[in-house]
Structure 1
Amino acid sequence: MNDNLIFTESQSGLSAFFTKIYSLVGIGIGLSAFVSWLMLYPFQQNLLTIMTQYPWVYMGAFFIELALVFLASNAARKNTAAALPLFLTYSALNGFTLSFIIVQYAQTTVVQAFVSSALVFFVMAGIGATIKKDLSGMAKALMAALIGIVIASIVNIFMGSGTMNFIISIVSVLIFSGLIAYDNQMIKRVYHQTGGNVQDGWAISMALSLYLDFINLFLNLLRLFGRND
């Protein structure tokens, strides 16, 4: 009976940990979506002005984003108070830069890509949270493939190949789908390895990983669905 009570408490604690992480992911995605909406509608003229006259603003924001990801990840690992503000700041800034990409596609394409991303995300999250097989080996292979995709993307900037871009997008969808499953398995692993005494920094770190998985999945599906836009 005591064993059943301990198991129930463990499951309850794990569920609370998942809830905390997914609440942060939801806040991050919601904040990005809100900022993108502001740029695409109320501030559409400002968006177009930046695109046509001040493209360096977009590039500057992009490089600031890279720094924020590094800072937020580092702060989360150290469990410092700056982790959450950095994560939220990154999410808001990412919404700003996403608007420059989204504006190039039809609204129906954007909705289609977002809904598809959400469906894939939750299916892979469910697989990752329930599968018994250790996905660590798969994750290493996916990270190696991701490095290859980044290199191929840089090369394709100069080649401008539509076929190469199509292949990169398909492979990227597969990579980030797999990483979603792995990251969800990692949530369980971290919780059990710490005996349920997980710090807030871990929740923010895992939320950041899942947020990045979702955004990259969305962007690649957007490119696939919007090839003719």
Structure 2
Amino acid sequence: MADVVVEEVLAMLSATSGTVGCVVNTVRLAVAVASRLEKARLAADSPRTRAGGPPTVVAVVGRMRPYDIAQIRLRHPGLFTHDGAPEVDVVVATQTIEVGVDMDFAGMVTELAAGSALAQRAGRVNRSGRRDSAPVVVVAPDDAALLQKSVGPYSAGDLEEALVWLGRRQDDVAGLAPGGSIRQGARTHPFPPHPVDPCGTASSGGTSTCGPAPPSPCSPNPSSTSG
């Protein structure tokens, strides 16, 4: 799983500018992904300032103490704001960033999780609506048997229901988020581009970036949601 996640993150870094979020379900996988990314190299033709070199990676993993957050803010003052931190290429995180952390990612690669968690994660993408679109990729096991096992805080039932919901969103013109896709093993299933909402900002994860957010389309039971 770590190699697939890293591959998707590096591909997204070559196609976007700004910080990309990478969210997985366990500390162990987050550490493995962060370590691999720190040793990787950006594409030579990447639009990023560190093209050809290693990306700048920040890990936000597990229970973050106020001291830990303060240290990250000291090194990267804009990271926890809508303005972002241009010097950070990737934030690798666990569920820590789903709530209570103000981040605005240019795109996201996420491990398959419960539908409500995916909505929270996608809600961290293009929050300010400054981009016309922003990609979201969900990485899922290509072996259905692996979905029978719980991963992190999520039960097998959570993951199966989320995958069914994602399959329906894939065929919906609204998609999950701008340019979103589901990655299963070696196969990538793209969502249609997400339309721009009436106030000129893009929606992501079923929530609007302007005005009050409607109920999540995948909470509490994504498999029972239509559309």
TM-score, structure 2 normalization: 0.29
Name whichever structure is richer in helix by fraction: 1
Which of 1 and 2 has higher RCO (CA within 8 Å, sep 6+)? 1
Quick check: which one's strand share is greater?
A: 2
TM-score (norm 1): 0.29
Q: Name the larger-Rg structure.
A: 1
